[in-house]
Amino acid sequence: MIATKFAVDLARFRDRVLGSRLPITSIDACRALATPPAMLSLGLALSSVSYAQSMEEGSLRQSLDLRLDVSYMYDTNVNRAPNGQQRLTDQFYSLTATAGGLTLPLNTSTRLVLDGAVGGDMTRFFPKLGRVFGEFGAALQYRKSADFYDPTFSLFGRITPEHFGSSQRRGYQYSVGVSALQPVTDRINLFGVLAHHERNANSSVFDANDNSAQVTLDYSIGPHGTFYLTGEYRRGDVVSTGPESLVNLDIAKVFVQDDAYTNPQLISYRFEAKSYITMLGYNVPVGPSGSLDFSWRWAQSTPTQSAGFPGAETPRYVDNQFMILYAMRF
């Protein structure tokens, strides 16, 4: 009975991750404040869950998880401006096709898992922020046994080539890190990630790297769905876009006239910051193979260095994202 509940709960956890994490990474890749390197690893949690299920059944097996994700997101500060007057809003429409769960067993407790994805994002007001992309990920996973409380550990890596309407943003990004999935009860799971993320673009202002730590609490309410809460701390590069100012130029490592914001012409500048991100969401099953996900994400970044002249205030960069996503597994 415990094994059955565990398998069902993990399946719901997989649906929630599928429904709320992967498309967010594809949308956020074009906006440096919201790019979540830790969340890139959550796609690999899908295969960690599959691993735990197969261990419950006493054997490892290969499986290919095909899914299609369609999402809409409203962003209250798409340019990551530091105050209300400079903030711009936009809407994002995304489509992602993913193939995951291809496994290569190494022994009874360790295996290699591969996955890949292709997709694209369209915007309503700033078309050059739209993109098409491909992804490839790999994870080395370990689970000691099929005991209920045994965690699943993962060492992962992911690379994502990207083509934006903005030539300055075109390039690729990658993430590496470690994760752990820990069942607490038959309804509660904890998922933790430590990750490093880097991005290489045509313009050096969009070259960025950061380190992050993230914890997700997942609570299942049976056939009625799953609630989840995520907290993340990140330290590293952030990019903001706005008019020229003494504060912006003083804290910037590098800046450039942005080719996506030209009417009026704005500049993008990169600086080091500490960021706090939270996400609250609800995922509900729709039919035998679909799920509908609703989420709210809040992020705040503060520069680690203040402007070097008297009277300058340290700016804060705050953003809210509201997202609806439908995911279908095949």
**Which residue range forms the structural domain that includes residue 268?**
2-329
pLDDT at res. 311: 65
Question: What is the per-residue pLDDT across 201-225, written as a single tens digit (0 to 9) for each?
Answer: 999 999 999 999 999 999 999 889 9
The mean of the pLDDT values for the chain is 84
Residue range 16-43, pLDDT digits in tens: 333 333 333 333 433 333 333 333 334 4
Contact 47, 53 (CB under 8 A): no
Q: How many domains does the structure of the chain reveal? A: 1
> CA-CA distance, 211 to 272, in Å (whole number)?
12
Rounded distance between C-alpha atoms, residue 70 and residue 18, angstroms: 11
pLDDT (tens digit per residue) in 222-274: 889 999 999 999 999 999 999 988 888 888 999 999 999 999 999 999 999 99
Cβ-contact 11, 53 below 8 angstroms? yes
CATH classification of the domain holding 81: 2.40.160.40
